[in-house]
Amino acid sequence: MPGLRLSMRKIKEVLRLNAAGLSNRRIAQVCGIGRTTVADYLRRLSVTGLSWPLADDLDESEIESRLFPEPPASSESRPLPDWPFIHQELKKKGVTLALVWEEYKSSHPDGYQYSRFCEIYRDWRGRQKVWMRQEHKAGEKLFVDYCGHKTPVVNPLTGEIREAEVFVAVLGASNYTYSEATWTQSLPDWIGSHQRAFEYFGGVSEWVVPDNLRSGVSKACRYEPDINPTYQDLASHYQTAVIPARAGKPKDKAKVEAGVLLVERWILAALRNRTFFSLAELNQAIGELLEKLNHKPFKNQPGCRRTLFEELDRPALRPLPLLPYQYAEWKKARVNIDYHIEVDRHYYSLPYQLAGRRLDVRITATTIECFDKGLRVASHRRRHNPGGFTTVAEHMPRSHREYLKWTPERLLNWASKTGPFTVQLARAIMDGRPHPQQGFRSILGILRLEKTYGPDRLEAACQRALAINATSFRSVSSILKNGLDRQAAGCEDDDTPLLDHRNVRGAGYYSGSKGEEDADTSDHGETKGHEAVGNGQGTGGATQQQRGQLSLI
């Protein structure tokens, strides 16, 4: 030890000067020590029999052991406290050395007195594990945590009291402190407090050191903690790193622990007798006292937190990004077989090839972004109508896209290229169904007949079908196949009045090919009705002659 060597050098110098004939006063002046100390050294030397010059085989350790022998062991035996137990007890809130000493004395009345008790405890604690002193570089670390004490806020309308959490952030090098109150420690409040802290400091530190709060750390681990995705997203936006303190290791974040203590003592304690009626009012009061705390002069060094911040941390902080961070939450979602995912009961499309995949979904106030293994595969504007669908046509299979292209307007435009009667017939088919889409296939079948018979014959067939109210694909196909489109409607010789019934078939049906049953139609119920009429059933009492005057419907 340096102090021991210094003392041995002094002793040797005292011996040399004494052998040279100098007085104790003069020796004290030369060595810079007291005369009583010189006299004590010379007395000890005379007792040990040492004289100048010292023997060459004597080292400093042996000289020390002769001059300062161990005192004889005391015959008095006092019960020793259980120091490990006391050390653990002192970690509990409100437990002091005075309290544990009183408990010790109550069990051992003949034990140590308080001053000796404290001295022995501090000596025992000093021999325990040596802690590394942390060195904090300028702009390197920002420590964040919440105070243990909450602040009540009164609702002015109902009188209900709600307790607010107090967030604290401390820069490592300057101890410059930021604090604010939020309603909860939930993820939105946690992220918002970080944003406002960065803005208060006017820059971003290299690291952020949080506790293992659930909002910041999804899964605590000493070696590989799992950071909350939203918290990680915030760190990426501000180009910083999140390095949580080890669980159960408060010395990893001693700076913020001290900052929390200061905020509780100099801010929350100062506001203890004030009543606040809103969170904004509370934060205004915290802000005023926070400025006083950061400008409060240090006791053991010149300046204050503010001046040290301007000197150390501010020049070293990274600049804030140009755009503020947009709060976003992340969730896992599986793509359903209809190639949609669900977010807040609304459904958003993904490329159909991803059906069955489990994706990462980033949710902001305005957008929904989907990522597959880190690659963004879809982005939608966020909707808030439960049960609705947001579908991009490019995400659909080709067959689905082709189906959605057909609309009533498109079919009518296509029919208009053939003629007005074709348009009327198409409109009549759609109007005759509960849903227009149910008539699409019939209309498509009619329009495709143009390839076989030409537009003029198809237009004439549609005119005849309208005249006899035969609004179906089978009817138009039968008219064309039997050449009835070349005859004017209603030119038959028989003057018997026609029976106005859509299920009655005419003579042309029986003279031609029966029914065109292989036609492309999905209206199976209507086909069965036609077959029943062809067998002489369901004619409503009409005679064979009357049925022969009508064409197939």
Per residue in 254-284, is it b (16+ CB within 10 Å) or e — as a string? bbbbebbebbbeebbeeeeeeebeebeebbe
SS3 content of the chain, % helix, strand, coil (to 5): 45, 15, 40
Other CB atoms within 10 A of residue 129 CB: 5
DSSP annotation of 310 reads I
Whether the predicted pLDDT of 131 surpasses 60: no
What tens digit of pLDDT does each residue of 279-338 get? Answer: 999 999 999 999 999 998 887 677 888 988 888 888 889 999 988 888 888 888 898 877
Phi/psi at 14 (nearest 5 deg)? Answer: -60, -45
Q: 3-state DSSP call for residue 371?
A: strand
Q: What is the architecture of the domain spanning 141-316?
A: 2-Layer Sandwich (3.30)
pLDDT tens-digit series, residues 495-516: 444 455 556 565 555 554 444 3
Of 443, 454, 506, 455, nearest to 478 (Cα)? 506
CA 312 to CA 217: how far, in whole Å? 29
> Do the Cβ atoms of 321 and 353 come closer than 8 Å?
no
* Domain assignments of the chain as residue spans, ordered by start: 2-67, 83-126, 141-316, 329-402, 407-548
Which residue in 455, 471, 468, 469 sits closest to 420, CA to CA? 455
Q: How far is CA 121 from CA 85, 87, 250, 347, in A?
A: 11, 9, 22, 66
Tell me 338's DSSP state: T
Predicted confidence (pLDDT) at residue 196 exceeds the cutoff of 50: yes
> Which tokens in the block code for residue 267?
């801010």
Phi, psi dihedral angles at 368 (to 5 degrees) = -125, 120
Residue 365: pLDDT band with limits 50, 70, 90: confident
Between residues 87 and 546, which one has the greater pLDDT?
A: 87
Class of CATH domain 2-67: mainly alpha
Round to whole Å and give the CA distance between 351 and 396.
7
Q: What is the pTM of this model?
A: 0.48
Question: What count of other Cβ atoms lies within 10 Å of the Cβ of residue 369?
Answer: 19
Domains 2-67 and 141-316 share a fold: no
Q: What is the rounded distance in angstroms from the CA atom of residue 198 to the CA atom of residue 238?
A: 9
Q: Say if residue 160's pLDDT is above 80.
A: yes
